[in-house]
Amino acid sequence: MKPQLIIFDWAGTTVDYGCFAPVNAFALAFQKFGVTPTVEEIRAPMGMLKRDHIRTMLAMPAIQRQWQENQGAADEAAVEKLYGVFEASLLESLAQYADPKPGVLETVEALRAQGIRIGSTTGYTDQMMAVVTQGAARQGYAPDAWFSPDSVQGLGRPYPYMIYANMAQFQIPSVADVVKVGDTVADIQEGKNAGILSLGVLEGSSVLGLTQEEYEALPPQDRERVLARAKETFLAAGADGVLLNLSQLPQWLEEQEKED
């Protein structure tokens, strides 16, 4: 069975190799209040609605301890303080992180040639997406639709409602006609909660967490090791498959169609 709709994530999946725009903004926000999170702590909730991301980070023992020592209660007021700094920082830098990843434009062209629609979901807000979509479109990437948590009453990942909004947009009759592709655990959870096939992508992903230069400079043995670890992360989250990069997607779909 060939899907009617592919739903891509944005940062780390189709643009922003390594998903660095939000990482840098989260780091800056917490550091402003005397808290120094690790990159692993920042990336663990990646893909969620950004306020939910901050709430999740504040609940992490080491971060919560630092926050309480420096700022007091790790409550909703703390979330809003952090979000204000995060949002301002991210909006200022987002335009620099809208470059399509390698293979994205060619893959989208190949999918459209088969009559497949291109949808998308994101952890960004509408205001953030206004910057990202404009920058990506200038460089040739524009999905047929996109939905942020703002479109679904703030119920971002892991809730499935952004996926259902895409399906409604294109009048897709069944979850069996849809595939989700993303670069975070939250992407996989979103897809599985929607009841659709969900794929992780390795190269340039938040799970891998490397710049293109860092990744390409890895010795072969080290590269295989980090790829295997990232693949296991996706599979443990329930992914139905893992792609090295988006260029492999048309072939993966073809093989699925043969099996069906």
| 260 pLDDT above the threshold of 90 | no
The pLDDT-based confidence of 259 (bands split at 50, 70, 90) is: confident
In the chain, where the domains are located: 5-19+97-259, 20-95
As a whole number, the mean pLDDT across the chain is: 96
Of 134, 137, 129, 180, the C-alpha closest to 157 is 180
Q: Decide which of 3.40.50.720, 3.40.50.1000, 3.40.30.10, 3.40.250.10 is the CATH code for 5-19+97-259.
A: 3.40.50.1000
| Per-residue pLDDT tens digits for 72-89 | 999 999 999 999 999 999
CB 179 within 8 A of CB 6: yes
For Cα atoms 162, 147, 236, give the angle at the middle one, nearest 5 degrees: 45
pTM of the model: 0.91
Which residue in the list 16, 50, 183, 240 is annotated as catalytic? 50
CB 202 within 8 A of CB 243: yes
**Stretch 59-67: mean pLDDT, rounded?**
97
Tell me how far apart the alpha carbons of residues 15 and 135 are, in angstroms, rounded to a whole number.
10
Q: Is 177 a catalytic residue?
A: no
| Per-residue pLDDT tens digits for 27-50 | 999 999 999 999 999 999 999 989
CB 181 within 8 A of CB 156: no
| 124 pLDDT above the threshold of 90 | yes
Q: Is 258 a catalytic residue?
A: no
| 1 pLDDT above the threshold of 90 | no
Integer angstrom CA distances of residue 141 from 63, 91, 138, 204: 37, 20, 7, 17
The pLDDT-based confidence of 258 (bands split at 50, 70, 90) is: confident
In eight-state DSSP terms, residue 108 is H
Residue type, 259: E
For strand 241-243 and strand 5-8, is the pairing parallel, antiparallel, or unpaired? unpaired
3-state DSSP helix/strand/coil % of the chain, to nearest 5: 55, 10, 35
| 257 pLDDT above the threshold of 90 | no
| Per-residue pLDDT tens digits for 193-243 | 999 999 999 999 999 999 999 999 999 999 999 999 999 999 999 999 999
Please name the fold of domain 20-95: DNA polymerase; domain 1 (1.10.150)
**Stretch 179-197: mean pLDDT, rounded?**
98
